[in-house]
Amino acid sequence: MKKVILSVVIIAATVFASCKNEGKKETNTNKTEVSKKVATTEISFGVRGNCGMCKSTIEKAANNVDGVATAAWDVDKKKIAVSFDESKTNVMAIHKAIAASGYDTEKAIGDLDAYDNLPGCCKYDHTMEMNQ
């Protein structure tokens, strides 16, 4: 009986030791991945809109593009500043995403169905100037 208990203890110790080593391997891999720096490109361009609700929708549309790190739309200047990874997306994809949410950009016309579904305060003048 003592031999059976001793065998179980040895097997359990071996299993726990191997699990502990596997965890260390994963931690080292994650540290390597985190240390890699991603080169970002920063751009800014005009986007038509009116208010804080527009700001939220425009920024959300840009931030939902894979590769976009940050997006900030200035209500007064009608301009968005975007930081993104060029290996994952491009400028036109960001323009198209914002346009799909109903807003005109310098390079893309806003989707009319999406525009029609915007709140009343967000219905901008399609001839409004966009700062470049």
Q: State whether 62 and 117 are in the same domain.
A: yes
Q: State whether 16 and 50 are in the same domain.
A: no
At 5-24, the pLDDT tens digits run: 656 667 666 655 555 444 44
Q: State whether 46 and 89 are in the same domain.
A: yes
Q: State whether 60 and 112 are in the same domain.
A: yes
Q: State whether 83 and 101 are in the same domain.
A: yes
Question: Nearest CA to 131 among 66, 30, 56, 44?
Answer: 44
CATH number, domain of 78, equals: 3.30.70.100
> Does residue 47 or residue 25 have the better pLDDT?
47
Contact 97, 61 (CB under 8 A): yes
Domain that holds residue 8: 1-36
What's the total number of domains in the chain? 2
For residue 94, being part of any structural domain is answered with yes
For residue 47, being part of any structural domain is answered with yes
- Strand, coil or helix: what is 35? helix
Q: pLDDT averaged over the chain?
A: 83
At 46-71, the pLDDT tens digits run: 999 999 999 999 999 999 999 999 99
